[in-house]
Each structure stands twice: as structure tokens, then as C-alpha cells.
């Protein structure tokens, strides 16, 4: 599914004056006289709490007055209000109806949001072709999020023929506007030679742009490039630094790699306590490799007190979640440890595993 970002104006708050300013009072006179632009502007001021108390219901009232006169921005905002239940009861059908009115007037945000509705089947039957068509309308007007989503649709053959070259072309348009997701996907395309010649240097350059904007996946990929020395000098410290940034944002694979880095002291000081902490973070998300490593740490008392019961718990969880040959390896390790333990300890480990499953799944 494409990344779906329903856009809105930031709700930056400003202090509310005890009485209306001359600006608001003059705007209200024009709005009451039927001026659609003034009606929309007054609605926006209520929505933002700018010069008047924040009040979504009042915002909707003024948006509706302007929308009924064909004001495209007001129609789009009214659709957004219905989509999110702001000032009106949440109603996807009404949201779609108002988005359509604005989209038909080439309001790019409304076109984007209408595509979101079709992509998810909110208020309309789910329809990838309609979603792609509306994203194209917005993308052709330069909306970066729509360009990214259109690229995603081409990459995955959703609603239009699968075409990596077209995907890259749209990702590039969005990436050149600073869209971090598009920059990442463009880097990924260069990594894998999808729609462009394979080129690690270009991949790293685009990952860096997205990483500098804080995108965790890009930070991880950039860190991995430093570990491998792919189009950058091999540098374990730089690798660990970027992977730490991604791990701090909760990216599971980065947390696992960071645990490994601390365990072997690669790019960071060797620290079994830190290794256990990072393995636990991703192990608690159900990552079988991290769960197996936790079992290993408890078996050997590395970074934690030695505890066969806790080790067997983690080995059991890892064997349950792993697949194929790895599953057999984990199961063999679990069974070898269990063979050394009395039945009471095995029962205790199974109870702990069951408690973990109840708490985390």
C-alpha cells in the first residue's frame, strides 16, 4: 500500500485576543456580505485559532458557506473535516463528495485526498485505478506526496501497469522536492538496479539525503553502506552512528544490528549489557534472531546473570517464530539446553514464554 499522508495546514496556535481585532472584524463583515474568499479565510482562522478562539464547528460553518459558492479550497477543507470528524460527525461519504467538488476544480490537495479515499475504500469502493488517476492529477501539479505515491503505484503495478522506469521518474520528481520517502525509494532503486542502472554511489547519495531528514530506513541503509564500504570509505564508527539513529527511532533491524555491534565491539565499545538491551527491544517485537541471541546471553551469563530458565524461554520463543532451516537450528539449541534442566525449570520456562506471548502478541 502506498504511503498515505492526508495533508492539512499545521495548527500553529497564536494567543487569542479578548475581543476581535480590526482584521477579524473587517473579515467578518465581508464574510457576512457573502464574499467567498472572506468566508474561507474566516473559517481557516477558526480552524487555526488565529485571532479567534479555535473552534472547528465555526470553521466548518464558514467553510460550508464558501464551499456552497464553489470555493475549491473551502470544499477541500470541508471534505477534510468530514474525513476526520472535525466540527462535524465523521462521514467518509460526505468527505468524498466534497473532495470530488474541489478535485474537479483542480485543487491538488483535494485530488490527493480523494486518491487516498479510493486507495483505502473509504466512502467509495476501493479502486487502485481511480487512486492512481487522482494522484496523477495532483502529481502533474507538482504535489510531492502525490508524485511519490504515483511512483509507488507504478513500482507495484497497482491500478496501472507495473513499470520501474516510470516509478523512478516519479520518485525523482518528489525526491527533488525533498520528499524523504521518495529519496529513500530512489536510493533503493539504484541499489537494486530497478528502473535505473545499478549504482551504489547514487544509492548512497539518495539514502544520505533521506537520512539527513531523519528517515530511519535511510539511516540504517546508510549505516550499512559504511559497514560494507559500499561507495563510501569503510568506517565502523560512522556505520554504528547512523544505525544508532535508526535504532533510537524504533527500527527493529537497526536495533538488532546495534545489539550485534555492541556484542562484538564494532564501531562502539564492546558492551554486553548494551547488547542485551538492544536485543531485548527487538526481541520484544517478536524478532526470532534477537530472541535466540537473548537465550544465548542468558545461557552464558553475558550482560545478564546466568539463568537457564530465562534462556530456555527465549530459545523456545525463537524456535516458535523462526522458519525453515533456522527454525531447526533454534529448536535443536532449545532441546539441548532442556535436556540439561530438571522438569520444574522447564515448566517454569514454558510459563514465562506463555506470559511473554500474552503480554506482547
Q: What is the pLDDT of residues 135-144, one digit of tens each?
A: 999 999 999 9
Q: Which of 105, 100, 102 is nearest to 130 (CA)?
A: 100
Tell me the CATH class for 214-271. mainly alpha
> Given this model, what pLDDT does residue 16 score?
39
> Given this model, what pLDDT does residue 12 score?
35
CA 17 – CA 282 distance, rounded (Å): 49
Place of cell 470555493: 71
Q: What is the DSSP letter of 2?
A: -
Phi–psi pair at 137, nearest 5 degrees: -60, -45
CA 23 – CA 125 distance, rounded (Å): 44
Count Cβ atoms below 10 Å from residue 347 Cβ, excluding itself.
12
CA 327 – CA 133 distance, rounded (Å): 45
Q: Which of 159, 223, 221 is nearest to 190 (CA)?
A: 221
Mean pLDDT, contiguous 10-residue spans, the chain (361 residues): 40 44 92 97 96 96 98 98 98 98 98 98 98 98 98 98 98 98 98 97 98 98 97 97 98 98 98 98 96 98 98 97 93 97 97 95 80
Q: Which of 188, 215, 209, 210 is nearest to 199 (CA)?
A: 188
> Given this model, what pLDDT does residue 5 score?
39
CA dihedral over 287, 291, 292, 297, signed as positive or negative: positive
Which ranges constitute the DSSP H helices of the chain? Answer: 22-32, 36-48, 56-67, 72-84, 92-103, 108-120, 128-140, 144-156, 164-176, 180-192, 200-212, 216-228, 236-248, 252-264, 272-283, 288-300, 308-321, 324-338, 343-360
**Residue 171: all three cell numbers together:** 520518485
Q: Which of 193, 199, 191 is nearest to 221 (CA)?
A: 191
CA 347 – CA 276 distance, rounded (Å): 24
CA 161 – CA 164 distance, rounded (Å): 10
For the chain, the domains span 214-271, 286-361
User: DSSP letter string over 211-224?
Assistant: HHTT-HHHHHHHHH
Mind spelling out the 3-state secondary structure of 31-85?
A: HHCCCHHHHHHHHHHHHHCCCCCCCHHHHHHHHHHHHCCCCHHHHHHHHHHHHHC
Amino acid at each position: 500500500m502506498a504511503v498515505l499522508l492526508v495533508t492539512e495546514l499545521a495548527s500553529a496556535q497564536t494567543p487569542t485576543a479578548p475581543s476581535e481585532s480590526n482584521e477579524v472584524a473587517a473579515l467578518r463583515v465581508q464574510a457576512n456580505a457573502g464574499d467567498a474568499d472572506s468566508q474561507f479565510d474566516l473559517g481557516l482562522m477558526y480552524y487555526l485559532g488565529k485571532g479567534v478562539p479555535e473552534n472547528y464547528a465555526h470553521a466548518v460553518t464558514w467553510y460550508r458557506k464558501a464551499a456552497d459558492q464553489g470555493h475549491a479550497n473551502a470544499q477541500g477543507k470541508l471534505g477534510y473535516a468530514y474525513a476526520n470528524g472535525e466540527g462535524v460527525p465523521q462521514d467518509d461519504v460526505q468527505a468524498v463528495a466534497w473532495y470530488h467538488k474541489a478535485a474537479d476544480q483542480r485543487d491538488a490537495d483535494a485530488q490527493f485526498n480523494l486518491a487516498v479515499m479510493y486507495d483505502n475504500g473509504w466512502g467509495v469502493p476501493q479502486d487502485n485505478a481511480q487512486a492512481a488517476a487522482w494522484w496523477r492529477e495532483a502529481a502533474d501539479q507538482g504535489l510531492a506526496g502525490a508524485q511519490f505515491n504515483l511512483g509507488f503505484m507504478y513500482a507495484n503495478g497497482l491500478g496501472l501497469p507495473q513499470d520501474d522506469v516510470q516509478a523512478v521518474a516519479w520518485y525523482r520528481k518528489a525526491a527533488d522536492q525533498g520528499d524523504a520517502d521518495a529519496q529513500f525509494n530512489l536510493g533503493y532503486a539504484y541499489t537494486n538496479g530497478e528502473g535505473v542502472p545499478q549504482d551504489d554511489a547514487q544509492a548512497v547519495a539518495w539514502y544520505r539525503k533521506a537520512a539527513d531528514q531523519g528517515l530511519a530506513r535511510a539511516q540504517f541503509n546508510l549505516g550499512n553502506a559504511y559497514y560494507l564500504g559500499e561507495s563510501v570509505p569503510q568506517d565502523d564508527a560512522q556505520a554504528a552512528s547512523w544505525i544508532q539513529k535508526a535504532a533510537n527511532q524504533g527500527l527493529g533491524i537497526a536495533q538488532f544490528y546495534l545489539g550485534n555491534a555492541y556484542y562484538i565491539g564494532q564501531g562502539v565499545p564492546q558492551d554486553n549489557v548494551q547488547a542485551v538491551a538492544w536485543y531485548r527491544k527487538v526481541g520484544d517485537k517478536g524478532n526470532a534472531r534477537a530472541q535466540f541471541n537473548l537465550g544465548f546471553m542468558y545461557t552464558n551469563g553475558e550482560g545478564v546473570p546466568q539463568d537457564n530458565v530465562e534462556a530456555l524461554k527465549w530459545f523456545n520463543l525463537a524456535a516458535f517464530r523462526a522458519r525453515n532451516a533456522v527454525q531447526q537450528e533454534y529448536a535443536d539449541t532449545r532441546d539441548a539446553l532442556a535436556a540439561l534442566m530438571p522438569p520444574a525449570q522447564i515448566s517454569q520456562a514454558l510459563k514465562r514464554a506463555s506470559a511473554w506471548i500474552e503480554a506482547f502478541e
